[in-house]
Structure 1
C-alpha cells in the first residue's frame, strides 16, 4: 500500500527538521526498518527508518531542504502502484503560504509588499534573530515566497565584508554540515549574545584522588556532583535568559560535554542533585558510550540547565569555556597535576586542578559566581562533605 514518509518529531520541542541525506534513491527497493533518510533537528542528527517495505517512488523534499514536522518527505509504494492521489492531495511544503493569484518570482533584496503576510520558515526566523536581521526586509525565494534560512544569511552577508577566497587545491575541503555546523551556530550565538566572564580557582583534589581508587568514578563525576550540590545554594547559575525574563530553574540537569571525532555532544544527567557520585559516574559512562556509538536520542541532548566540560582530559591546564546557550554558566575542568603547595608552613606536593567558570554577566554578578565556585571547591577539598 502506498504510504507517505513524513518529517518525524525527534523530540518534544522539535517543530521543524532538515533533510541531510537520502540514504536511498528514487526507484530503490526499501525494506521495513531499513535506514531511509538522515534528518537533522536543532539538537541532533538521526537516521529515520522506512515504515514499510516498498519502492522509494518519489522524494518530495530533497536533501538540504527544511520541512515542518508531519510534512510528507517521500512516497513508498509498489512498483506499479498508483501514487497520483498522494502527489496531488499532499499538504503544501513547510511554511508555504499559497498566493491567491500568480505573481512574479521574488527578487533577492526586495521585501514582501506592504500588507501581505510573509511566509517565513521557523529556522529562518531563528537565524534572523541570531544575526540581528529585520525579517520583513528579507525577500523569500522559496516556494510561494517562503523566506528560508539561506535567504536570511544572504541578506545578512550583504552588510558584511566579502570573505577571503582561498584556492581549495592546496587544502582539504570539509563541508560545514551536520554536527559541525550546529556547533558553529551555537558557539557563535553564545559569543554574540552573552556578556561572558571567566573566573578561575585552584582546587586540591588529593582527597578525591584517594576516593577514586575505591570508587572508580571519574574526576568529571565528582565535579558534576559538587556543581549540582552547589547549584542548590546558588540557583541563579541554574537559570536562562529568555527575552526580558530570567528563568531560574527548579530542577538541576547537568550537561556533560563528550568529545567525538566529528565534534562535541552534551548529553544530560537529569536531576543530578538527587544522585550520588557513583550514580552520576555510571550515567556519564553510559551516555559517553552511546554517544560514540551514535545511539543518543534528541531527548538525551535536551534540557540541560548547567554544563560541565573537561578539557583537562586532553592536557589543558585552564581555559575559558563557552556558555551553552540558553544557560547562563558553564564549568570547565583543567588537568589534575602534582603541584607544590604550602600546607601548615611546609611545602608539600598535592594533586591540584583548576576550575574555570564562565558566566553570563547579564544574569550573574561576580559575587555569587565566585561564591558558587568556592562552594564547589569546598566540596571537593573537604572529605567530610563528599558522599561515601
Structure 2
C-alpha cells in the first residue's frame, strides 16, 4: 500500500485546496492518470497515479485544505479492480432501471444496469454523495459551480436548484425557488481569485502608486508587421504580433532606467541584473502573470513563441509554479478586450507595470497637417517611493520612441 501525496509546495505557498477528484475509491488507474487537482494561491497542481493500480482510499475530500506533501489518499500498485475494492453500492440510492431479456436457453431474465445513471453517480465525489444522502437532494438537480458544471460539497451545503427542478425538502417546501429571470447564484471565490483580490488591494493601499500616460503612433509597427509577417511566420513557425516588440522595447528601457527594474524589500532597494517580464493573461480561473525569463537574450521569435506557449497553458490551467514566480516588470494588454485607457495596478514587489490599450484611428497633427493615424494610449503605473516622476516619464517616452521607430531596436540606438 502506498500513499497518494500532495505535491511539495514552494516556501511562498502555505497550503492548497482539493478542487476535484477525477477517480473514486476502488477505481483502477494507469500510471500518470490524473487523480486529483489541488488549487494553490498561484496555480492548480495535478496529482497523478504513481503506477498502475487501484485507488483504495480517498483521505482528503473536495474543498479540504491540504499541506505540502500531505497524504490525500492511498494507492495499491499492481492491483486490479475487483468486488473487494470496488465502490460500495449505497442501499439508499434508488435502484437502476432493469431491462429484462430472456436468455437464449429459456433461463431467468437478466438485469442490465442503466449506464448513464451509473456514470452520473461515479462522477460525483464521495463528499457530494454523502451530502446527497443526508439532505435527500439529488445532485443532478443542483446547479454546480465546479469545473464543467460539476457539483461540489459547497453546492450541496447551500443548494441552488436548476430552473426546471421540482426537488423538495423533507418539509415539503422547495429547497430553492425559481423567480423567473430574477435568480441568484452564490459561488465561493476560488483561492486564486482571493489571492488576486488581496494582492491588488494591498498594492493600492501599501504603495504610493501613480500613473503617467502617453500615446504611441502604431502605424510604423503595423506597416512593418504587414510587410514581414508572412516571412516571419514561414521562417520561425509563429505569428508576428505586437507584444514581442513591446517586450523588447520595455527590456531596452529597463536597461536605461534600472530603478524601474528594481523592487523594494523593506527598507532596501534591490536592483535586478536580469530582465524577467511578466505578461498578464486572463484565464477562466482569474488573472495570472506568467513570466518570460531573460528577455534581453530572447529574439522576437522567441518571445512570440513563449507567449503563445504560456498563454495556452494558462487557458488550460496547466501553468506551473516556476512559470509564475519572480518577474521584475509586468506588461498588461487590456486592449485585446477593447479598453481605451486604464490605470494598471502594480504587481508587488515590482515597482512598475506597463498598460497597453486598444488601437484606434484618430486625427493627429503631423507637420502642420491633420492625418488619421492608428494610435494607442500607454499607461505606466509606478511606485513613487522608488521611482521619481522624471524617470517614469522618460521610461515611457523611451518605449514610445522605440515602438514608433522599430529600427532603433535593431541599431541599438
Fold shared per TM-score above 0.5:
yes
- After superposition, what is the alpha-carbon deviation per residue over 1:33-54, rounded to whole angstroms, capped at 9, x for unaligned? 2211111233201221121333
Q: Hey, what's the Cα distance between the residues in 1 that align with 2:31 and 2:386?
A: 50
Q: Which runs of 5+ in 1 are unaligned?
A: 82-166
Q: CA separation of 1:276/1:36 partners in 2, compared to 1, >3 Å: closer, same or farther?
A: same
Shift of 1:331: 0.5
Match of 2:193 among 180, 189, 198: 180
Q: CA separation of 1:211/1:12 partners in 2, compared to 1, >3 Å: closer, same or farther?
A: farther
Q: Hey, what's the Cα distance between the residues in 1 that align with 2:309 and 2:210?
A: 32
Q: CA separation of 1:193/1:75 partners in 2, compared to 1, >3 Å: closer, same or farther?
A: same
Q: Hey, what's the Cα distance between the residues in 1 that align with 2:244 and 2:37?
A: 33
State the partner residue of 2:396.
Answer: 373
Shift of 1:204: 1.3
Deviates more, 1:318-327 or 1:27-36: 27-36
Shift of 1:374: 1.0
What aligned pairs does 1:41-80 form with structure 2 within 5 A after superposition? 41-77=40-76
Q: Hey, what's the Cα distance between the residues in 1 that align with 2:352 and 2:6?
A: 34
Cα RMSD for the two superposed structures? 2.5
Contact 1:6 1:71 in 2 (8 A): yes
Counterpart secondary structure, 2:252: helix
What aligned pairs does 1:352-367 form with structure 2 within 5 A after superposition? 352-367=375-390
TM-score by length of 1: 0.71
Q: CA separation of 1:247/1:42 partners in 2, compared to 1, >3 Å: closer, same or farther?
A: farther
Q: CA separation of 1:365/1:220 partners in 2, compared to 1, >3 Å: closer, same or farther?
A: same
Contact 2:259 2:271 in 1 (8 A): yes
Deviates more, 1:261-270 or 1:22-31: 22-31
Task: State the structure with more CA Rg.
Answer: 2
Match of 1:303 among 326, 337, 360: 326
Q: CA separation of 1:15/1:261 partners in 2, compared to 1, >3 Å: closer, same or farther?
A: closer
State the partner residue of 1:8.
Answer: 7
What aligned pairs does 1:104-143 form with structure 2 within 5 A after superposition? none
Contact 2:27 2:55 in 1 (8 A): yes
Moved over 4 A (4+): 10-15, 78-81
Q: Hey, what's the Cα distance between the residues in 1 that align with 2:335 and 2:62?
A: 39
Q: CA separation of 1:305/1:168 partners in 2, compared to 1, >3 Å: closer, same or farther?
A: farther
Counterpart secondary structure, 2:407: coil
State the partner residue of 1:238.
Answer: 261
Q: Hey, what's the Cα distance between the residues in 2 that align with 1:12 and 1:250?
A: 23
Shift of 1:171: 1.6
Q: Which runs of 5+ in 2 are unaligned?
A: 86-176, 230-238
State the partner residue of 1:38.
Answer: 37
Shift of 1:346: 1.4
Q: CA separation of 1:168/1:273 partners in 2, compared to 1, >3 Å: closer, same or farther?
A: farther
